[in-house]
Amino acid sequence: MVCLQETKLASTSNAKARSFLPPSFRDFHCVDARGSRGGILTAWDAHSLTLHSFITRKHTLTTVLTSTVTDILFTITNVYAPADHRDSLTFLEDFANLAPHVSGSWLLAGDFNLLRENFLRLACSDRSLMAVRERAAYWKQRGKFRAIREADANTAFHHAHASVRLHRNQIKTLVIDDVEVTAHDAKAEALTAYFSSILGSGTTPAWYFDVNSIYSTSPRVDLTHLAAPFTCAEAKLAIQQMNRNSAPGPDGFGPGFYVAAWETVAPKILQFVHAFC
């Protein structure tokens, strides 16, 4: 069996293959090169192996072969990975998608073009960029500043705006009986006592009239539609009318996520709103 990478052949005819393959290797499959780059070829001796199936991808050629002697079925993937490491993640994802199509023995051969240092550096760079974007989105949501263009990071501005809002939302001092209270525990105790005194205690209400008799002469109005289950269109409209840049809820997702992923999350949203019916 022969596995060749970087053949640089835009097309491979039988005559061309016979010019460089051993005489007994008449059966082959290939992935054509693009310009002067790439090209994969897998060839085998037809007296020893029989082709069962094959899968052709941009950077891989997978052949499933059966031994004519032992009837053993095995898979061999001939690989010529992209030389540009910016495409390495895409290549690996595509390569991983081959696994569900392979059963039994699997042999990998070829040039993976993976330098560990460069690959890790690329992965770290992507993760760092993602972290910066997540942090910028966090401060934009916390800053609550609406009059700003989308995609404008300006994290320092949002950070400052959020800090100003935080200071404004604080109760620094309470005056109780002409005495200033600044300690947190003392302020909490004073506020609790004040609102407890004005809210009072709960009592059981008593009705001394008949509601039906009061409205006995009024025309009856069919209000069953008010108790009808929410429709998908109503739920979608409510989501779309929300501010997409609002801070996320307890689940960690904001309105913008639900708008973008509506087709996926719609069943869960409807299940949630129907719980109120």
Q: Grade residue 151 by pLDDT with cuts at 50, 70 and 90.
A: very low
Query: Which range (23-27, 76-80, 206-210) has the least confidence?
Result: 206-210
Please give the average per-residue pLDDT across 98-124, as a whole number: 76
- Residues 231-251 pLDDT 10s: 899 999 999 998 888 877 777
Q: Could you tell me which CATH class the domain 2-114 is placed in?
A: alpha beta
Q: Where are the domains of the chain?
A: 2-114, 117-167, 229-277
Q: What local confidence, expressed as pLDDT, does residue 37 receive?
A: 80
Q: Is pLDDT of 110 > 80?
A: yes
Which residue in the block uniquely carries the two structure tokens 């200033």? 180
Please give the average per-residue pLDDT across 117-125, as a whole number: 66
Q: What local confidence, expressed as pLDDT, does residue 119 receive?
A: 60
Q: Grade residue 146 by pLDDT with cuts at 50, 70 and 90.
A: low
More confidently predicted of 35 and 14: 14
Q: Is pLDDT of 206 > 90?
A: no
Q: Is pLDDT of 253 > 50?
A: yes
Question: pTM value?
Answer: 0.42
Give the Cα separation of 45 and 85 in Å (integer): 35
Q: Is pLDDT of 212 > 90?
A: no
DSSP the chain: -EEEE----S---HHHHHTTS-TT--EEEEE--BTTB--EEEEE-TTTEEEEEEEE-SSEEEEEEEETTT--EEEEEEEE--SSGGGHHHHHHHHHTTGGG--SEEEEEEE----HHHHHHHHHHHHHHHHHHHHHHHHHHHHT--SS-TT---HHHHHHHHHHHHHHT----EEETTEEE-SHHHHHHHHHHHHHHHH---------S-HHHHTTTSPP---GGGGSPPPHHHHHHHHHTS-TTSPP-TTS--HHHHHHTHHHHHHHHHHHHHTT-
Q: What is the mean pLDDT of the chain?
A: 82
